[in-house]
Amino acid sequence: MAEVKYYTKEGLQKLKDELEQLETIQRPGISRQIAEARDKGDLSENAEYDAAKNAQGMLELQISKLQEEIRNARIIDESKMDSSKVLILSVVKIKNITNKAVMTYTLVPESEADLKSGKISVSSPIAQGLLGKKVGDTAEIQVPAGKITFEIIEVSR
């Protein structure tokens, strides 16, 4: 059975856009390459034809995986979530108790994580340590460098 994955509306739309691009732009492009290589004659010694057929197989596999992922995708309904505690899609402002550094992260599904834009995977060690906590709570989180204690300063959506 396929694994259900959760997405924001934007994350699911991004998958759908990628699938559309593969089906409407890349698939016809590879078909043209195969036709051009076929027109060049003897297929048994045609490396161009073999390469295009290989690329077609890889593309079809990628399309199939994306279709499966979209079929099993579920959108997270933010309206039914408790905004007083840290959950998926929460924007959390935390303070490192040791060095007083303040950081803000948004907890997102694994497939949408992007540290540069402050989005961390809900399955990351920091997010796991913050889940269920409320403003004023502290969380002791095991990271590769050791244990770090964070105080939750703010939780929002």
Q: What CATH number is given for 78-156 in this structure?
A: 3.10.50.30
Q: Is the per-residue pLDDT at 1 higher than 70?
A: no
pLDDT per position as a tens digit, 55-73: 999 999 999 999 998 998 8
pLDDT band at 130 (very low <50, low <70, confident <90, very high): very high
* pTM for the whole structure: 0.65
Q: Is the pLDDT of residue 16 over 90?
A: yes
CATH class of the 5-75 domain in this structure: mainly alpha
Per-residue pLDDT reduced to its tens digit, 78-114: 777 777 888 888 899 999 998 999 999 999 888 888 9
HEC per residue, the chain = CCCCEEECHHHHHHHHHHHHHHHHHHHHHHHHHHHHHHHCCCHHHCHHHHHHHHHHHHHHHHHHHHHHHHHCEEECCHHHCCCCECCCCCEEEEEECCCCCEEEEEEECHHHCEHHHCEEECCCHHHHHHCCCECCCEEEEEECCEEEEEEEEEEEC
For the chain, what are the domain ranges?
A: 5-75, 78-156
Is residue 5 pLDDT above 60, yes or no? yes
The predicted structure's pLDDT at residue 143: 82
- Quote the pLDDT of residue 2: 63
